[in-house]
């Protein structure tokens, strides 16, 4: 996952540098003051060492992040989020559909932290909102954004945290952040399970990010390819045969 001698070497180096880091939340996409995400390298892990649904085995090239590692990392992100916002009212926006798994795990972790840190408080730990942002067709980001959402005018003057599954080129979140800024919230932050290291990046960075991953097309833990693989627990790299197989499935569905 990282250096061959020690798979956590790079992340251990980052851990020390991350001590005391706290996102500034002054401008969405800058990542100013954030703790750097855990670095996952291209090598990954052999799928032979993990349980995979039989219908997906031939479509997976390798694992990048096992399920248990993902869940533990989300617990830490929840802690960082709570530390940053404290007891301020926080409005979480789940970007459907891919972020649903990450969002649910994050909510559970935030609930537990709120319950045990604030045993005598009567305030709510957070408020939930849901939106659909469409910018992908197959494996490519189209650059065009379609927003389907409830009335988000209630976010005016509020702390807003957008919850995403992946930051790829950053185009989608850049446009959505501008959409939200027109509502005039108090702040706009972004929590993303993963962030790609890609030359196609617009430079957009999340404020709370779980993993820095290589420029591969990944699936699992809510991440999909043509609406398939969302039910896969681990974060994996899809194989060429998987791409071909499920491209044909989708084409046949129309």
Look at residue 118 in the predicted model and tell me its pLDDT: 67
Look at residue 254 in the predicted model and tell me its pLDDT: 42
Domain ranges across the chain: 37-253
Q: Is 227 left (phi over 0), alpha (psi -120 to 50) or beta?
A: left
Whether the per-residue pLDDT at 224 is higher than 80: the answer is yes
pLDDT digits (tens, 9 = 90+) for 183-212: 999 999 999 999 999 999 999 999 999 999
C-alpha–C-alpha distance, residues 68 and 74, integer Å:
10
215 is annotated as an active-site residue: no
Whether the per-residue pLDDT at 238 is higher than 90: the answer is yes
Which of 58, 61, 72, 168 is the catalytic position? 168
- The fold for domain 37-253 equals Rossmann fold (3.40.50)
Which position has the higher pLDDT, 21 or 149? 149
Nearest to 74 by CA among 44, 99, 48: 99
Band of residue 4 on the pLDDT scale cut at 50, 70, 90: very low
Pair of tokens at residue 106? 């994050």
C-alpha–C-alpha distance, residues 18 and 228, integer Å:
35
Cα–Cα distances (Å) from 72 to 14, 27, 76, 127, 210, in that order, read 17, 28, 7, 23, 10
- Maximum Cα interatomic distance, the chain, rounded to a whole number of Å: 56
**Average confidence (pLDDT) over 176-186:** 94
> How buried is 226 (Cβ within 10 angstroms: 0-12 exposed, 13-18 middle, 19+ buried)?
middle
C-alpha–C-alpha distance, residues 155 and 160, integer Å:
7
Look at residue 19 in the predicted model and tell me its pLDDT: 66
**Average confidence (pLDDT) over 140-160:** 84
Pair of tokens at residue 32? 């100013």
C-alpha–C-alpha distance, residues 70 and 101, integer Å:
11
Look at residue 20 in the predicted model and tell me its pLDDT: 62
C-alpha–C-alpha distance, residues 134 and 141, integer Å:
9
């Amino acid at each position: 996952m990282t250096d061959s001698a020690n798979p956590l070497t790079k992340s251990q180096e980052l851990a020390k540098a991350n001590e005391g880091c706290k996102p500034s939340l002054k401008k969405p996409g800058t990542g100013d003051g954030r703790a750097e995400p855990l670095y996952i390298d291209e090598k990954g892990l052999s799928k032979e060492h993990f349980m995979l649904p039989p219908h997906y085995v031939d479509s997976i090239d390798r694992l990048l992040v096992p399920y248990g590692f993902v869940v533990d990392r989300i617990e830490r992100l929840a802690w960082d989020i709570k530390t940053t916002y404290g007891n301020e009212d926080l409005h979480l926006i789940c970007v459907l559909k891919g972020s649903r798994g990450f969002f649910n795990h994050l909510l559970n972790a935030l609930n537990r932290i709120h319950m045990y840190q604030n045993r005598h408080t009567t305030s709510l730990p957070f408020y939930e909102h849901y939106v659909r942002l469409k910018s992908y067709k197959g494996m490519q980001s189209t650059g065009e954004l379609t927003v389907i959402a409830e009335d988000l005018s209630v976010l005016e003057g509020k702390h807003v945290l957008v919850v995403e599954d992946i930051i790829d080129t950053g185009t989608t979140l850049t446009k959505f952040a501008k959409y939200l800024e027109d509502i005039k919230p108090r702040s706009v932050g972004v929590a993303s399970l993963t962030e790609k290291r890609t030359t196609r990046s617009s430079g957009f960075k999340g404020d709370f990010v779980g993993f820095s991953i290589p420029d591969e097309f990944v699936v699992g833990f809510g991440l999909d390819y043509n609406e398939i693989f969302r039910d896969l627990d681990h974060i994996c790299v899809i194989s060429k045969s998987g791409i071909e197989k499920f491209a044909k499935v989708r084409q046949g569905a129309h």
